A and B are shown apart, each in its own frame.
Chain A
Amino acid sequence: MSTVIVLTPVIIASWPTILAAVTGAATALGLVVKETVKQDIKQQQAVEQSVEIELSNSEVLAQNLASGKEVVVAKGDIEIKVGRDERGRCTVCAKGKGHTKAELKQIAEEFSRKMTQCFVYNRVATELKSKGFQMVNEEVMDDQSIRINVRRWVD
């Protein structure tokens, strides 16, 4: 053994990269990508509860994201919108009829965790491949973590 490091993810990416993570998270959690829309808060119905959370350590690179653009994923009566706030942070908003704010917060947090995991996986896998690492093993563990083993030969 030589070193073990623990890293806290920071999400700084363009909108297409964020979108790939959103799609991955949606697929993993059984949601479908409904639409990529411009934000229109006025259309939200008053009877629906909604909870918005902000991903800490996140930044969507502004040059690739038109103001107010967002993606919507859905499952049943739950809708999750992922977008970018005015400060450039990535936001996840869950809404749905018949759900309490606490339930929606839990749903939004679960989605943001899965999205972060997908983002990190995509980024790490791409970088490892570009540096000539060979995949030895990849598996999803019982605790839903993803374990990747790679190797590389050097002169």
Chain B
Amino acid sequence: MAQHEVEITISKTGEVKVHIKGVKGRACLEYAEWLSNIVGKVKDQKLTSEYYEPEVKSRINLHQQLNDGQ
């Protein structure tokens, strides 16, 4: 089991800053894509050191849940 944390800051203008923590490799991009689909357009994106660490094979499965929920 891996813990994924997301810190979301919604500014008073509605702009959203998302900090995805504990997600290694390309899996974090799935979170980024999911959240950008919810909120709007990506204005800026920075990959941090953890992105380049070996990916733990975890099942994020956001899209599956998204489809199941519709």
Contact = CB atoms under 8 A, between A and B. Distances in A.
Interface of A: 1-10, 57, 113-114, 116-117, 119-121, 123-124, 127-128, 130-133, 136, 141, 143-155
Given A7-B39, A7-B42, 16 more contacts: A1-B49, A2-B24, A3-B51, A4-B20, A6-B17, A7-B36, A9-B15, A9-B16, A9-B39, A57-B40, A119-B14, A124-B10, A127-B38, A151-B4, A151-B6, A152-B4
A90 to B, nearest CB: 12
Interface residues of B, number: 51
A116 B48 contact: no
Contact of B10 (A117, A130, A133): A117
B40 A7 contact: yes
B7 A8 contact: no
Given A5-B36, A127-B38, A151-B5, A143 B58 contact: no
19 contacts: A2-B20, A2-B23, A3-B45, A5-B36, A6-B16, A6-B18, A6-B42, A6-B45, A117-B10, A120-B10, A123-B39, A127-B38, A132-B65, A145-B12, A148-B9, A149-B7, A151-B4, A151-B6, A153-B3
